[in-house]
Chain A
Amino acid sequence: MKNKLLIFSLLIFFQVFVLNKIIFFDFLILSPLIIILLLYKYKKNSLENLLFAFFIGLAVDIFNDSLGVYSMVSIIIVYFRNFWILKIIGEEKTSELNDLSIHELGNFQYFIFSYPVISLYFTLLVLLESSSFLNLDVLAFILLSSSLNYVFMLVFQYLFLESKLSDEWG
């Protein structure tokens, strides 16, 4: 539990103080918040999931002067994530899951589960934070940033979730 809190805090710190200021190749952004939202333990119809998402989004908003944007995106993502995982693997299997990681779901199912959620995250961010409408540039940004963050998330899970930490993550 301590490790989980520490990693969540480090990821948020990394998002707020480092990655919020960097746009890779003037085009791509890396957002560790999506890792937290996707990997946070799953419980069907859990109020705790929603409240956690709201407050962690609010924390990012406070540092980012974007009050409401990340909190709204976070609760939509967690709501959609909880709905989407049920559609993909069914209610029976979800009750057996410790967490929604690649180790539990497998490569293919994890891609089907996580990529749409990450894409939705960046679509909502673009719409709310930049007030941009969907055009080719914006679509390219969503697609490429989603892919970059998907790869980042895989690396993160292979680095941290296979270790002893994986036992404590659920």
Chain B
Amino acid sequence: MEFGCSIELVDMHFCGPNTHHMLTKSYWDELYKLISAAGFRGIELPCNPYNFELARSGVPVNPYVMISKYGGHKEYLAFLDGQGIDEVVSAHVSASDVATLMKFTGAPYPLFFEMFKGLARESLEFARQIGANGLVVSPTPEIGMLLDLMGGVGIDECTAQYLPQITGLIDEIGAEAAQHGIQVAVRNEFWGLLRGTGIEDLLSKTDAKNVLFSPDLAQLAIAGADPEELIRKYAGRIAFVHFSDTWYVDEWDNYLSKSPETPVAGAQRVYCDLGDGRIDVPACHRALRETGYEGWVHCGSKSTLNVYRALLKLRWYLDNVIAKS
């Protein structure tokens, strides 16, 4: 088992003091050094070519940035090596980004799968170019966004329409990725149609070799699933595990909203730094070890208010809690 770091640590929707600096290459150049100094030699990058600010900045999230800021993918990897990062382990693509773009441009729902397929293929190429051996796919947008895009249908109809199509698409992407030696794994957020144990439906209908499961501990727990149980159940079909944490309890059915990660009612802080929340991370680690998992575990503290402190806390937690568990 190897531990990497998810770049999700940095909120891509920067907010607060020095927000513009976080969009510059210099911020990221330094961050790579700090990730390495915190003992992480592998990272996961999101792929999002749509976001206006990210597409013209130094944030390493799409092919354009690799070319404009580093001179190309090979040069980017060589640069990472110099900063102390050995590899980009996986890339992450989310249906949420497609839904956001559609909402913004007014594109009609029937175009959704074509657009998602396009993004997934672009992400696959991105993963291939940066030498990643995995593509983590979040297969559904926020339920609230999807319902909105579909024009006011109920959740049952939405599910009945969406799931067969996305299942087919994920299978297709999985097969295409396998041809390039890239492993696809699905990650289910607490706000998606496949939340919690809902992912099992997709897993049961897709090729077990080409489509693996990428469990994200906090996402599963918020959705009411037991991450340890799912890790044990899907042993052998797991890749790119995400260690994450939360205190959040979704008492207001916020998962149905269009913006579930920034709740309006009740508690609003959805994620916390790894080790600070209610997830029994050591138990999940034991489950991975006992089931013979030998892949990567990406550690993250999503939406942390202090990236640098969170990085050091990750290392402390791995060395002093996980290693001793």
A and B from one assembly?
Answer: no
Residues of B within 8 A of A (CB): none
Residues of A within 8 A of B (CB): none
